[in-house]
C-alpha cells in the first residue's frame, strides 16, 4: 500500500483492487478502510468508491469476458494497474446506474496515464470506447453470475434451480447493513428513532430481536459516529446464533472461536453484562481486538482466553455454549467481495474435520440441562448437518433442541436453521441448537 494519496473516488477503487489482487493480497474491506482513511473524499464519493471497488471485485469473471474481444491476447501482458483500470471502467459502463459514459472513459484514461504511460492510456481509451457503444455479449449463466462454477453448482443442489437467480442477484448486490443494539444502553425502538433523526431509515429484524437493518446505503463511518455505545455493526444473519442461544443474566456461558468479538458484545448486551462469559480464540491478535472493544464498551463480565478450543479441558459447568466455528465461508461471499476468488472446492471437507473436534470440545463444556448452539457461515451440509449428525451419533447425552418459532422460514426437516445467501440481503448461515440431557 505505497501509492500516494488518492484524489478521486475512482483512484481509491483502483488502489483497493490493486491491494486485493496484488502480490500481497489483502481483504477488500481492510484495503477500502485504509484507502478511505488516507483520502479526503466527501461521503458521496466514498460511497461511489465503495460500490465501484466492491462491484469490480465481485464481477471480475464477467468483466474479463466483456473486455476479451477488445483486449484479446494483450490481456496476458497488461500491467496490473492497467488491467484493473479496464475492469473498473467496464463496470461503470456495464453495471453502474447514473454514470455518464464520457466520464467513465475519460477518468479511466486519466488513471491509465498516471499509472502507466501514453500508450497504455491510448489502449484504455480505445477499449472502453468500444465497450461504451457495443451491447453486452451473450454469456452463460455462470459467467454472468461471476462466481466459480462449483459454487453455483453447490447452491443449485442445496437450494434448487428455482432460487439460483435470486441467490446470485442478492450475492452480487451490496449486502444489507445490520446494527446490533446494545440493550444495556438503549432499546431497539429508541435506536431506530435515533437513526431516523439522522435521516437513516432502519427496520427491525423479524428474527433477531436486537438487530436493526439499515435500508439503503449508509456510510459505515457515519453509523459509527452516531453509535455512542448504542449499537455496533453486525450482519443480521450473523446475529442469529446468539439470538437462538438466548443468553440470560446470571448464567455461565462459554463462547468458543470468539474472533473479533461481535457475538461476545451481543452476549454481554443480551445479559446486561450480568452473566459470566468465557470467550476463547486461538488468535492473540483477535483476542486483543475483542479486549479493546470490551474495554471501550465498559463490559466487565467477560474473561478472554487465547487458546486452542479443540484442546481445552472442559469442566461441564456451562449453562450455555456458543461455537461459531471456522468454516469455508460459502455463506458470506456477498459480504466479502474477494472471497469467491479465494475459495477451493475442497474447503468444506477440510474444515469439517476441525469443526467436529471443536464441537466435541464444546459439548464437554455443557452441564446437564444446558444448551449448545453450533453455527457456521457456510451453506455446505458437510459443515452443517453432517457435523451435527456425527456428533449426535457419538454423544448420547445430546439431542436437538427447539429453536424459536419465528425462525420457521429457515427450518430444515431436522429442525435446524439454514439461511439462504443473497435473499433479502442476508448471508448464508447454518445454526443448530442442542440440549444436554445428562
Domains, in order of start, for the chain: 9-142 (1.10.940.10), 177-233 (3.30.70.1170), 237-436 (3.40.50.150)
Q: How far apart are CA 168 and CA 189, in angstroms?
A: 33
Cell digits for 74? Answer: 494483450
Ranges assigned E (strand) in 314-394: 318-324, 366-376
Q: Which residues pair with 427 in a beta bridge?
A: none
Structure letter (DSSP) for residue 411 = B
At 302 the pLDDT is: 97
Residues 6+ apart with CB under 8 A from 261: 279, 286, 289, 290, 293, 294
Q: How far apart are CA 104 and CA 100, in angstroms?
A: 6
Structure letter (DSSP) for residue 328 = -
End-to-end CA distance of the chain: 55
At 2 the pLDDT is: 52
Cell digits for 118? Answer: 501514453
Structure letter (DSSP) for residue 293 = H
Under 8 Å between Cβ of 338 and 403: no
Of the candidates 309, 314, 315, which has an alpha carbon nearest to the alpha carbon of residue 287? 309
Structure letter (DSSP) for residue 342 = T
Residues 6+ apart with CB under 8 A from 191: 179, 181, 202, 212, 230, 231
Ranges assigned E (strand) in 215-292: 231-233, 252-256, 276-281
Q: How far apart are CA 409 and CA 356, in angstroms?
A: 27
Give the H/E segment covering residue 430. strand 429-436
Q: How far apart are CA 53 and CA 36, in angstroms?
A: 12
Give the H/E segment covering residue 165. helix 161-172
Could you give the strand order of the β-sheet that contains 177-181, starting from the edge strand earlier in sequence? Answer: 202-204, 211-214, 177-181, 231-233
Of the candidates 180, 207, 352, which has an alpha carbon nearest to the alpha carbon of residue 270? 180
Phi, psi of 91 (to 5 degrees): -65, -40
Under 8 Å between Cβ of 146 and 173: no
Q: Which residues pair with 177 in a beta bridge?
A: 214
Record the pTM: 0.94
**Strand 318-324 relative to strand 252-256, pairing:** parallel
Helix/strand/coil for 372: strand
Residue owning grid cell 443442489:
157
Q: Which positions of the chain have pLDDT values less than 70?
A: 1-5
At 1 the pLDDT is: 45
At 43 the pLDDT is: 84
Residue owning grid cell 481486538:
289
**Alpha helices per DSSP H over 134-160:** 141-145, 149-159
Of the candidates 427, 433, 326, which has an alpha carbon nearest to the alpha carbon of residue 372? 433
Amino acid at each position: 500500500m505505497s501509492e500516494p494519496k488518492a484524489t478521486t473516488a475512482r483512484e481509491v477503487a483502483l488502489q483497493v483492487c490493486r491491494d486485493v489482487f496484488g502480490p500481497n493480497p489483502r481483504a477488500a474491506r481492510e484495503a477500502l478502510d485504509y484507502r478511505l482513511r488516507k483520502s479526503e473524499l466527501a461521503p458521496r464519493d466514498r460511497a461511489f468508491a465503495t460500490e465501484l471497488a466492491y462491484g469490480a471485485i465481485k464481477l471480475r469473471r464477467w468483466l474479463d469476458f466483456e473486455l476479451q474481444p477488445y483486449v484479446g491476447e494483450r490481456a496476458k501482458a497488461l500491467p496490473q494497474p492497467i488491467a484493473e483500470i479496464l475492469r473498473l471502467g467496464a463496470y461503470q459502463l456495464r453495471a453502474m446506474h447514473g454514470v455518464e459514459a464520457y466520464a467513465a472513459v475519460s477518468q479511466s484514461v486519466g488513471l491509465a496515464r498516471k499509472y502507466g504511460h501514453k500508450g497504455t492510456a491510448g489502449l484504455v481509451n480505445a477499449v472502453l470506447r468500444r465497450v461504451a457503444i457495443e451491447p453486452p455479449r451473450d454469456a452463460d449463466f455462470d459467467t454472468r453470475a461471476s462466481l466459480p462454477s462449483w459454487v453455483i453448482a453447490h447452491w443449485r443442489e442445496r437450494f434448487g434451480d428455482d432460487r439460483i437467480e435470486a441467490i446470485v442477484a442478492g450475492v452480487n448486490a451490496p449486502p444489507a447493513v445490520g446494527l446490533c443494539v446494545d440493550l444495556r444502553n438503549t432499546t431497539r425502538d429508541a435506536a431506530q428513532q435515533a437513526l431516523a433523526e439522522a435521516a437513516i431509515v432502519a427496520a427491525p429484524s423479524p428474527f433477531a430481536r436486537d438487530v436493526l437493518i439499515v435500508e439503503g446505503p449508509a456510510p459505515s463511518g457515519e453509523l459509527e459516529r452516531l453509535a455512542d455505545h448504542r449499537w455496533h455493526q453486525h450482519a443480521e444473519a450473523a446475529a442469529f446464533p446468539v439470538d437462538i442461544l438466548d443468553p440470560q443474566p446470571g448464567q455461565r456461558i462459554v463462547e468458543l472461536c470468539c474472533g473479533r468479538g461481535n457475538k461476545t458484545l451481543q452476549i454481554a448486551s443480551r445479559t446486561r453484562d450480568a452473566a459470566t462469559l468465557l470467550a476463547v480464540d486461538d488468535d492473540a491478535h483477535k483476542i486483543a481486538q475483542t479486549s479493546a472493544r470490551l474495554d471501550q464498551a465498559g463490559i466487565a463480565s467477560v474473561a478472554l482466553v487465547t487458546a486452542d478450543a479443540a484442546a481445552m479441558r472442559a469442566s461441564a459447568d456451562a449453562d450455555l455454549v456458543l461455537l461459531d466455528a471456522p468454516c469455508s465461508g460459502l455463506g458470506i461471499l456477498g459480504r466479502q467481495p474477494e472471497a469467491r476468488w479465494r475459495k477451493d472446492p475442497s474447503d468444506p471437507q477440510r474444515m469439517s474435520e476441525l469443526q467436529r473436534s471443536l464441537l466435541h470440545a464444546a459439548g464437554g463444556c455443557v452441564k446437564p440441562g444446558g444448551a449448545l448452539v453450533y453455527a457456521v457461515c457456510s451453506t455446505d451440509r458437510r459443515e452443517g448437518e453432517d457435523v451435527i449428525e456425527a456428533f449426535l451419533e457419538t454423544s448420547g447425552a445430546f439431542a436437538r433442541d427447539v429453536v424459536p418459532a419465528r425462525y420457521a422460514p429457515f427450518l430444515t426437516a431436522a429442525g435446524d436453521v439454514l439461511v439462504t445467501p443473497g435473499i433479502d440481503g442476508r448471508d448464508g448461515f447454518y445454526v443448530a441448537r442442542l440440549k444436554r440431557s445428562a
